[in-house]
Amino acid sequence: MKAIGLIALAVVASSSSALAQTLAKYDGDSVMAAAQCEVGLWAKEAKYKYTSPARQKGFVQVEGFEKVTQGASGTFGFPNIFGLPNAEVGASGEVTNTWKPARSFNLHPANAEACAKRRPDVGVRDCLRGSQTTFLGGGTVECTKITSAKLNGGVGAKASFWELINVGFSAKGDVTRTFTVKFNAPFEKQPAASGNQAAQR
């Protein structure tokens, strides 16, 4: 039995909105750490103890997309998530990059140690919560969540921060990143994926 969900984040964000969530970091590492955190939080609240090695792990795949839109002139001066050289952005140009890291995590409370004070909600905890009866009954779960954020403070600014926005939002002069987080459990065999891959305790 399989439970499948698709959750799209739709947070209306503006610099003056008290509802807008801001993040110091919004990159591949912070999104993957958020997924690890949520695995641990669910395992802790559900007091999960796997009954066999086959039900020990969950698998997370992140698809990142970064776009510097027309009008963001200058040098892409902050560290990017793709391990590429700094990109020169012209007044009439556009730079896009993609990235697909993947890794497995044990469904264990110890992974809650990865929780940061401010982190994006990547949907893993909600996925396990929403399908907990199915999963604990021997079924499988599979969910996807999409989040987007824009860089505030200017390209290369030391005081810049990331603000979560409506998925698909784009405006002249923006630097935006969108992450699709796919989660499935239990995990036995890793599907084909590009990017960095590793096993986690």
3-state secondary structure 74-100: EECCCCCCCCCCCCEECCCCCEEEEEC
Rounded to an integer, the average pLDDT of 59-72 is 83
**Domains contained in the chain, number:** 1
In a domain, 198, yes or no: no
The reported pLDDT for the residue numbered 140 is: 96
- 96 vs 122: CA distance, rounded Å: 22
Q: Does residue 72 register a pLDDT over 70?
A: no
Rounded to an integer, the average pLDDT of 105-113 is 96
Choose the weakest-confidence range: 22-36, 40-54, 120-134, 153-167: 153-167
Type of residue found at 61: Q
Q: Does residue 12 register a pLDDT over 50?
A: no
In a domain, 200, yes or no: no
pLDDT tier for residue 3 given thresholds of 50, 70 and 90: low
In a domain, 196, yes or no: no
Q: What mean pLDDT value characterizes the chain? A: 75
Rounded to an integer, the average pLDDT of 189-194 is 51
Helix (H) or strand (E) holding 6: strand 2-8
Dihedral angle sign, alpha carbons of residues 190, 191, 192, 195: negative
Q: Does residue 11 register a pLDDT over 70?
A: no
In a domain, 197, yes or no: no
In a domain, 112, yes or no: yes
The reported pLDDT for the residue numbered 164 is: 85
In a domain, 83, yes or no: yes
In a domain, 21, yes or no: yes
Find the domain containing 183 and state its range. 2-188
